[in-house]
Every structure is written in structure tokens, then in C-alpha cells.
């Protein structure tokens, strides 16, 4: 019985030390990680609205004003400004791809066109779905204004995007994310110009 108590106290001590170490590590790293996330998101917004020099966060729930949407709800929305003139919005949205969520940042101008697209963190298959991060694929969405966008093997229409070879699910997920951002813009923000 005495050996059991010794073992229990040792196990408790090891557990407390491990918990303390994890707590200290979290405390030390949480601010730098948050700063890196902010910088990554700032770069993504700048990439989809290159001419803009300022971005102001828009409250997603306030923009919806209690309305229900049938599409994926954006994680973040920022108003994009060039000087004092608002040029449009950026949307951070995360549709489900083949390997999980795909983090997208989509820029939409007041003309109803996609100004840019970045693909952030994702778990898509290397060499297939992960090719969605390549500029060649992302540029297929730029200047699109015919919605909803559809994915096909050989894009011939104005609203069609050519699928990545071997990654149709990923291609459709990215198109869905862009469609959902555009749908949210058209439903809640297109008439609001500051």
C-alpha cells in the first residue's frame, strides 16, 4: 500500500511539473503567435487589394443585422480604403475542402468584381489540392463578376473556373468560398459605400 502512495505522489509531481511547463510555454508564446497571425492576415488583405493603404474591420454580425444567410458566414470582413475613399471589402472565409477547411481571403470591389484571392492555411494534398495556393490558379478568380462561379474541366464561360488537375474538390471549395463572399457582399454590403 505504501508503494502505491509513493507512486501516486511521484505521478502527481510529474503531472504538476508538466502542466506548469505547458502553462509557461503557452504564456510566453501566445502573444508572438497572435502577432504573426495579425501580420499574416494584414499581408493577405494587402495582397487582394494592392492599391489600398488602410483596412478597417467590419462587425460581421452587425453587417448581417440579424438576418439569416444560407451561405458560409465570413470569419472577418474589412473595408478597404485608398486614402479616404473606400474601394470595397476583404472577406476571410473558410470553406471545407478535401483535407479540411481552406482559409481564403477574397477582395471584392464596389463594381462587384473579385480584386484578388489568397489561400492561407489548409490541409489539402501536396501536389494536388495544395496547388490552390499557386498564383496561376488564384488569378483565375481575379476580375470575375459573373456569379455563381462554377468549376469545370475546361472553363469556357465567364463564370467558369478551370479545376486543378486531380483536385476537383479543392477547386470547388475555393469557388464556393468566393461565391459565398460575393453573396454576402451582394446581400449585405453592396449598397453601403462610405
What would the pLDDT profile of 49-81 be if each residue is shown by its tens digit? Answer: 999 999 999 998 888 877 777 788 899 999 999
Q: How many domains does the chain have?
A: 1
CA distances from 110 to 105, 119, 177 (A): 17, 22, 18
- Give residue 192's pLDDT: 60
pTM of the model: 0.84
Strands (E), the chain: 54-58, 76-82, 85-93, 104-109, 114-119, 150-152, 160-162
Q: Three-state SS for 105? A: strand
Mean pLDDT of the chain: 92
Residue 6 in any domain: the answer is: no
81-93 mean pLDDT: 96
Residue 55 in any domain: the answer is: yes
- Give residue 157's pLDDT: 87
Domain limits for position 158: 46-189
Residue 146 in any domain: the answer is: yes
- Is there a contact between 81 and 45 (Cβ–Cβ < 8 Å)? no
Residue 25 in any domain: the answer is: no
Q: Compute how many other C-beta atoms are within 10 angstroms of the C-beta atom of residue 97.
A: 26
% of the chain surpassing 90 pLDDT: 78
What is the band of 26 on the pLDDT scale with cuts at 50, 70, 90? very high
Residue 33 in any domain: the answer is: no
Amino acid at each position: 500500500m505504501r508503494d502505491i502512495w509513493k507512486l501516486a505522489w511521484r505521478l502527481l509531481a510529474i503531472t504538476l511539473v508538466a502542466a506548469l511547463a505547458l502553462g509557461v510555454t503557452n504564456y510566453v508564446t501566445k502573444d508572438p503567435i497572435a502577432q504573426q497571425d495579425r501580420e499574416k492576415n494584414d499581408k493577405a488583405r494587402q495582397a487582394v487589394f494592392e492599391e489600398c493603404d488602410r483596412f478597417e474591420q467590419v462587425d460581421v454580425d452587425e453587417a448581417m443585422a440579424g438576418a439569416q444567410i444560407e451561405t458560409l458566414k465570413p470569419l472577418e470582413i474589412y473595408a478597404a480604403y485608398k486614402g479616404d475613399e473606400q474601394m470595397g471589402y476583404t472577406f476571410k472565409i473558410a470553406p471545407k475542402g478535401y483535407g479540411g477547411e481552406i482559409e481564403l481571403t477574397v477582395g471584392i470591389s464596389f463594381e462587384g468584381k473579385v480584386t484578388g484571392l489568397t489561400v492561407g492555411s489548409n490541409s489539402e494534398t501536396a501536389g494536388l489540392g495544395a496547388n490552390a495556393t499557386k498564383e496561376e490558379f488564384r488569378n483565375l478568380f481575379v476580375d470575375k463578376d459573373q456569379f455563381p462561379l462554377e468549376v469545370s474541366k475546361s472553363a469556357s464561360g465567364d463564370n467558369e473556373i478551370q479545376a486543378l488537375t486531380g483536385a476537383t474538390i479543392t477547386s470547388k471549395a475555393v469557388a464556393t468560398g468566393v461565391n459565398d463572399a460575393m453573396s454576402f457582399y451582394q446581400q449585405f454590403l453592396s449598397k453601403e459605400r462610405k
